[in-house]
């Protein structure tokens, strides 16, 4: 996995199997954290790597008891609110029962404590993804960093007098059918810049959604329009489906049998087609086929089954 792939496929994993993380893999993850940049090259991050189930349980109990004493107000940050409410209910384990919790502490009087911890955590999450391990940022110990009991316990396990917790993360094998972390992309919103109006096609990922059916976004940043580019091997199919968008297609090469609203049409290179909104339709490629499709308004469900 190259760096960009690791970035684009990293997702937060919140369900872990009991399998231990091999120590060589854990070592690589921590090295990735140590090799993160630091302000003025201070290198004051301190990694407390907790694997002992008793220590993990004790931290969960201390955090639960601290959150349970807090009150929710209309201003309470939503994630903190759920920690408080779940703790009041009882049985709250803030680290998702992952086998490893990496706490990143730093000097409380150092101006880049939070930034240095954050870049280290990101490096470690990317390394975990590269090693097929799931990970997730865990903020609870940062919120509770001034809690007397937690501070005292963390000092027992290695935190020094002037250090506080700025971030933490869990890592472990995902509890999934294939043991791999969730990698389904989560759409990103906002912060689009003008540069997003140019998308170079060879930079866009190709996805094979059915055998022989490969799709790429033509463009994903439009407000009213979106489009795909398709390559379909001879005989490959896009099964019957509908969407709320009107679709305008253009066959560049090869051809299709299109079944649209119960009628069959055969089209070839240079032909265009319209599929009205909410009309069931399917495609079978005749010869090796290439086409583009434009949709208006934006599709809510994408051809790979992901929400837009």
Residue numbers at the binding site for ligand FMN (CB under 6 A): 11-12, 14, 79, 136-140, 186
Residues 6+ apart with CB under 8 A from 97: 16
Nearer to ligand FMN, 17 or 139 (CB): 139
Which residues pair with residue 172 across a beta bridge? Answer: 134
Nearest to ligand FMN of 117, 247 (CB atom): 117
The strands making up 213-219's β-sheet, listed across from edge to edge, are: 207-210, 213-219, 226-232, 289-296, 246-253, 272-275
For ligand FMN, give the closer residue by CB, 161 or 178.
178
Minimum distance from residue 195 beta carbon to ligand FMN (Å): 22
Closest separation in Å from C-beta 241 to ligand FMN: 27
Q: How far is the CB of 78 from ligand FMN (least distance, A)?
A: 10
Between 183 and 296, whose beta carbon lies closer to ligand FMN?
Answer: 183
How many C-alpha atoms does 225 have within 13 Å on its Cβ side? 8
| CB 71 to ligand FMN: min, Å | 19
Angle between helices 113-130 and 23-34 (to 10 degrees): 140
Smallest separation (angstroms) from ligand FMN to the CB of 4: 15
Say which residues have a Cβ less than 8 Å from residue 142's Cβ, sequence separation at least 6. 165, 166, 167, 168
Among 112, 134, 138, CA closest to 125: 134
The structure tokens listed for 224 are 């009213």
Q: Compare residues 168 and 236 and give the one whose CB is closer to ligand FMN.
A: 168
CA distance 103 to 100: 10
In angstroms, give the least distance from the CB of 224 to ligand FMN. Answer: 26
Between 11 and 243, whose beta carbon lies closer to ligand FMN?
11
């Amino acid at each position: 996995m190259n760096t960009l792939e690791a970035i684009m496929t990293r997702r937060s994993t919140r369900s872990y199997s009991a399998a231990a993380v091999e120590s060589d893999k854990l070592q690589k993850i921590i090295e990735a954290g140590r090799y993160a940049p630091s302000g003025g090259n201070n290198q004051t991050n301190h990694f407390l790597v907790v694997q002992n189930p008793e220590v993990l349980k004790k931290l969960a109990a201390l955090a639960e008891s601290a959150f349970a004493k807090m009150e929710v107000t209309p201003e309470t940050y939503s994630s903190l609110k759920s920690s408080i409410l779940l703790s009041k209910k009882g049985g709250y384990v803030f680290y998702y029962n992952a086998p490893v919790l990496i706490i990143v502490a730093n000097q409380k009087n150092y101006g880049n404590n939070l930034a240095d911890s954050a870049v280290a955590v990101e490096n470690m999450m990317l390394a975990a993804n590269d090693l097929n391990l799931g990970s997730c940022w865990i903020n609870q110990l940062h919120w509770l960093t001034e809690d007397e009991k937690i501070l005292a316990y963390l000092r027992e396990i290695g935190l020094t007098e002037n250090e506080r917790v700025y971030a933490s993360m869990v890592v472990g094998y995902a509890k999934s059918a294939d043991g791999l972390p969730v990698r389904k992309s989560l759409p990103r919103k906002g912060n689009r810049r003008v540069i997003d109006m140019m998308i170079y096609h060879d930079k866009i990922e190709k996805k094979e959604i059915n055998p022989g059916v490969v799709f790429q976004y033509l463009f994903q940043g439009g407000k009213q329009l979106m489009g795909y580019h398709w390559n379909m091997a001879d005989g490959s199919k896009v099964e019957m489906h509908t969407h709320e968008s009107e679709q305008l297609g253009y066959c560049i090469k090869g051809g299709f049998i299109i079944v649209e609203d119960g009628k069959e049409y055969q089209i070839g290179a240079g032909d265009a087609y319209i599929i009205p909104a909410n009309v069931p339709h399917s495609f079978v490629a005749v010869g090796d086929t290439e086409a583009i499709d434009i949709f208006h308004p934006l599709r809510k469900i994408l051809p790979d089954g992901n929400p837009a």
